[in-house]
Amino acid sequence: MTDNCLETIDLTHRFADGAVVLDDIGLRVAAGGIYGFLGPNGAGKTTTLKLILGLLRKQRGEIRVFGRDFARHRLEILRRTGTLIESPSIYGHLTAAENLRVWRKLYDCPEKRIGETLALVGLAGTGSKRASRFSLGMKQRLSLAVALLHEPSLLILDEPTNGLDPHGIIEIRELLKTLNRERGLTILVSSHILSEIEKLATHVGIIDRGRLLFQGTLEELVKRQERASGIAFRTSDPPGAVAIFEQTGLAARIEGDRVIVPLVENARVARLNAELVGARIDVYEIETVKSDLERIFFEVLSLES
């Protein structure tokens, strides 16, 4: 038995125009964790989440939630899942409590959940104010309240901080962390902003052009990124350079006409250079090399600015 709250197996999807949008996606969302589903615009995040929730018709692959096949246990799974995908369904002419009352009937949960949930998302004091007068951050919190009303054990959110100002982003992030910590809620949340996921998630999946490039804990991601990056020295004598680097205790490898060592600080790069020159090895070029993962990181990061 796995401790995955949600997993997809070989999820593959193509839209009518024929292009493959998702290719063999195997998400593993650990129970009790916060899974950050990270990828640049058009990577396939929304498509994946919609497939998971049955909002798009599944073409190939398997989806298991709470250990059950989604296709066969759809209603039971949805009853235990809170979702926020695309624009929130909020009635502008109703107050926060009135909005929740509409959903309460649908979910068939007790009246007391309305007050509890409003308090949880920090909207208890909004009284007779209509939702149309809410700030964007308040609207987003009301949408989250709708998603939380029936006390789900899994929350699936598609870019819940999109369009919010820095203050609103922090509010939502802190709320999600609290829900995870205090109520054990498993959260699957998508974002195109790496720094946002770093501050929130325990696990990360990185998707790009429909492929899952990385999946693991946040610590594993940082380690892998460090491992895959390094400093490249192009010199007149690569084997000689390797010997010198290894004498200083650095692991070095030859790649083409370059020698790669792990990332070290600038002062150490300068010392290594001096050692090479001292040993009469000509140094033509020194540069930082980035892994593929880092390229994705940069793409993702550059969307922030």
Ligand X SMILES: Nc1ncnc2c1ncn2[C@@H]1O[C@H](COP(=O)(O)OP(=O)(O)OP(=O)(O)O)[C@@H](O)[C@H]1O
CA-to-CA separations, 159 to 37, 114, 199, 222, in angstroms, rounded: 9, 25, 14, 22
CB of 152 to Mg ion, least distance (A): 21
Stretch that binds ligand X, among 34-42, 194-202, 225-233, 276-284 (CB under 6 A): 34-42
DSSP tag of 126: G
Stretch that binds ligand X, among 15-23, 136-144, 221-229, 287-295 (CB under 6 A): 15-23
CA-to-CA separations, 192 to 36, 160, 227, 231, 235, in angstroms, rounded: 10, 11, 23, 28, 39
By DSSP bridging, strand 20-25 and strand 4-14 are antiparallel
* Nearest one of 217, 241, 226 to 297, comparing CA atoms: 226
CB of 227 to Mg ion, least distance (A): 30
Stretch that binds ligand X, among 45-53, 145-153, 229-237, 257-265 (CB under 6 A): 45-53
CB of 278 to Mg ion, least distance (A): 54
Question: For 251, how many CA atoms within 13 A lie in the half-sphere containing its CB?
Answer: 6
Whole-angstrom Cα distance, residue 23 to residue 8? Answer: 12
Task: Report if residue 17 touches ligand X, rule: CB under 6 A.
Answer: yes
* Nearest one of 42, 151, 152, 147 to 160, comparing CA atoms: 147
Q: Which of 8, 47, 143, 161 binds ligand X (CB under 6 A)?
A: 47
Q: Which of 5, 6, 11, 21 binds ligand X (CB under 6 A)?
A: 21
Task: Report if residue 42 touches ligand X, rule: CB under 6 A.
Answer: yes
Q: Which is nearer to ligand X, 80 or 211 (CB)?
A: 211
Q: Which of 43, 65, 114, 147 binds ligand X (CB under 6 A)?
A: 43
Phi (first) and psi of residue 195, to 5 degrees: -65, -30
Q: Which is nearer to ligand X, 15 or 284 (CB)?
A: 15
Q: Which of 2, 3, 10, 15 binds ligand X (CB under 6 A)?
A: 15
CB of 210 to ligand X, least distance (A): 7
Q: How many binding residues for ligand X (CB under 6 A)? A: 12
Stretch that binds ligand X, among 24-32, 39-47, 167-175, 236-244 (CB under 6 A): 39-47
Which residues are 60's β-sheet partners? 12
Stretch that binds ligand X, among 24-32, 42-50, 114-122, 212-220 (CB under 6 A): 42-50
Whole-angstrom Cα distance, residue 47 to residue 22? Answer: 8
Structural tokens at position 163: 């369009």
CB of 216 to ligand X, least distance (A): 20
SS3 state at 68: strand
Question: Which runs of E-coded beta strand occur in the chain?
Answer: 4-14, 20-25, 28-30, 34-38, 60-65, 68-69, 81-84, 154-158, 186-191, 203-208, 211-217, 230-235, 253-255, 258-261, 283-289
Cβ-proximal residue to Mg ion, closest one = 46
Q: Which of 33, 39, 152, 205 binds ligand X (CB under 6 A)?
A: 39
Task: Report if residue 191 touches ligand X, rule: CB under 6 A.
Answer: no
Binding residues vs Mg ion (CB under 5 A): 45-46
CB of 34 to ligand X, least distance (A): 19
Binding site for ligand X (CB under 6 A): 15, 17, 21, 39, 41-47, 192
